[in-house]
């Protein structure tokens, strides 16, 4: 897991959705055990109660840069569109034989 500073804004890209939630790191808890050192980050959500949750318990991918969030979202949308186009092309071929998708 990436390291965060208390007070830092972390953007959560919700898995399975095109939704971004800004959160703030409000606590960093470091545990040192025989197995090693682990840090847990508690983030404050932008809901009306300003809920605080463990970052690892949220079903989202954390990013500290909105430009990176934009890149990831655009990559996923592009991949989805390409998949839709390929499936449509394959269906057209199966139903109608050879197609000329680039013909004007």
Whole-number average pLDDT of the chain: 92
pLDDT at 101 over 60: no
Q: 96: exposed, middle or buried (C-beta count within 10 Å: 0-12, 13-18, 19+)?
A: exposed
Do 10 and 45 share a domain, yes or no?
A: yes
Domain annotation covers residue 10 = yes
Mean pLDDT of 19-40: 96
- Written as six digits, the tokens of 103 are 């013909």
Domain annotation covers residue 73 = yes
Do 41 and 19 share a domain, yes or no?
A: yes
pLDDT for the residue numbered 1 = 72
Look at the alpha carbons of 68, 74, 75, 76 in this order and tell me if their dihedral is positive or negative.
positive
Task: Determine the length of the chain.
Answer: 104
Q: What is the pTM of this model?
A: 0.79
Domain annotation covers residue 76 = yes
pLDDT for the residue numbered 16 = 87
- Contacts of residue 15, Cβ cutoff 8 Å, sequence gap at least 6: 59, 60, 61
Domain annotation covers residue 104 = no
pLDDT for the residue numbered 27 = 97
């Amino acid at each position: 897991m990436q390291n965060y500073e208390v007070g830092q804004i972390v953007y959560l890209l919700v898995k399975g959705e095109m939704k971004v939630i800004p959160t703030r790191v409000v606590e960093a808890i470091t545990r040192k055990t025989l197995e090693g050192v682990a840090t847990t980050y508690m983030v404050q959500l932008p809901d009306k109660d300003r809920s605080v949750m463990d970052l690892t318990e949220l079903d989202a991918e954390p990013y500290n840069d909105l430009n990176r969030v934009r890149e990831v979202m655009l990559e996923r949308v592009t991949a989805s569109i390409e998949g839709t186009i390929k499936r449509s092309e394959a269906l057209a071929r199966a139903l109608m034989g050879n197609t000329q998708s680039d013909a004007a």
